[in-house]
């Protein structure tokens, strides 16, 4: 990391565990100041204590609450004057078919996975525009690019994050702000601890994570490198670029794979 990069102010939501914690560690190792944000303050503080260097913060915020995010913004501006990198990383896992998903479940997942990103962007983008530089990195999922059975709320919420990121990139293209979106598939992390919905899909997710070829450390390293290079669509798990090409170039074949997966899940029920 260059001298200018070593002075970065980095804010990461969902920094209490998983990818958020791994990213915090990597930016701290490169000399950046990191603000670790989580709705579980104890976990954010645990991440902060494990970081190298000085000047880091651990703050509580619930991305689903306007007032909580507003308070976070005010605290960070007071402490640092602003930020250079924003990772809208907080989210929850969910699964279930359309007819089996309640409106309360829809609202809960959308409020966190999509509107949590919206809240982060709305609050911290003005400061980046004023300083004419910054990077916003939103965590979506490969499920937001390619459909999978019984992941209705999760897939829709993550597809919306991809669309939001693409729209925002076009909006700030010439104003010094870089936008990226992270779209991993299954890798070795603890995302399923936040699972909402269909128990069969949770078991399927556990199996897929158990068979994942990508470790958390590998995914975090690839994300940091891609952000440095200005990549918009970041697919940090190894199999997904090929699957993404398959869906675009041979959609019929891809959807036969999806249909086969749906039948297996139906049989498991």
Please give the DSSP secondary-structure letter assigned to residue 98.
G
Active site residues: 154
Contact 136/88 with Cβ under 8 angstroms? yes
Torsion of the alpha carbons at 135, 38, 152 and 96, rounded to the nearest 10: 160
Q: Is the dihedral of CA 42, 183, 91, 203 positive or negative?
A: negative
Alpha-carbon distance of 97 to 263, in angstroms, equals 13
Contact 76/55 with Cβ under 8 angstroms? no
| Tokens 């990069």, located at residue | 5
Alpha-carbon distance of 141 to 83, in angstroms, equals 25
Alpha-carbon distance of 105 to 173, in angstroms, equals 35
Alpha-carbon distance of 251 to 253, in angstroms, equals 5
* Nearest residue to 62 via CA among 90, 39, 86, 31: 39
Contact 92/112 with Cβ under 8 angstroms? yes
Contact 7/27 with Cβ under 8 angstroms? no
């Amino acid at each position: 990391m260059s001298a200018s990069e070593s002075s970065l102010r980095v804010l990461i939501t969902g920094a209490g565990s998983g990818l958020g914690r791994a990213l915090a560690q990597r930016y701290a190792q490169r000399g950046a100041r990191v603000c670790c944000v989580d709705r579980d303050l104890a976990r954010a503080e645990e991440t902060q204590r494990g970081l190298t260097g000085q000047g880091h913060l651990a703050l509580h915020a619930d991305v689903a609450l306007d007032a909580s995010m507003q308070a976070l913004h005010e605290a960070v501006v007071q402490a640092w004057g602003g930020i250079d990198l924003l990772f809208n990383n907080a989210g929850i896992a969910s699964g279930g078919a359309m007819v089996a998903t309640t409106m309360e479940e829809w609202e809960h997942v959308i409020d966190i996975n999509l509107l949590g990103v919206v809240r982060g962007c709305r609050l911290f983008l003005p400061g980046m525009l004023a300083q004419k530089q910054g990077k916003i990195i939103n965590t979506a999922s490969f499920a937001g690019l390619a459909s999978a059975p019984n992941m209705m709320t999760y897939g829709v919420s993550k597809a919306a994050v991809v669309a939001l990121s693409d729209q925002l990139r076009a909006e700030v293209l010439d104003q010094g702000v870089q936008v990226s979106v992270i779209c991993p598939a299954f890798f070795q992390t603890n995302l399923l601890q936040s699972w909402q919905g269909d128990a069969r899909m949770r078991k399927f997710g556990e199996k897929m994570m158990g068979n994942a070829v990508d470790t958390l450390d590998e995914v975090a390293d690839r994300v940091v490198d891609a952000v440095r290079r200005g990549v918009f669509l970041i697919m940090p798990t190894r199999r997904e670029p090929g699957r993404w090409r398959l869906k675009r170039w041979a959609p019929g074949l891809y959807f036969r794979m999806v249909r086969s997966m749906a039948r297996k899940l139906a049989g498991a029920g």
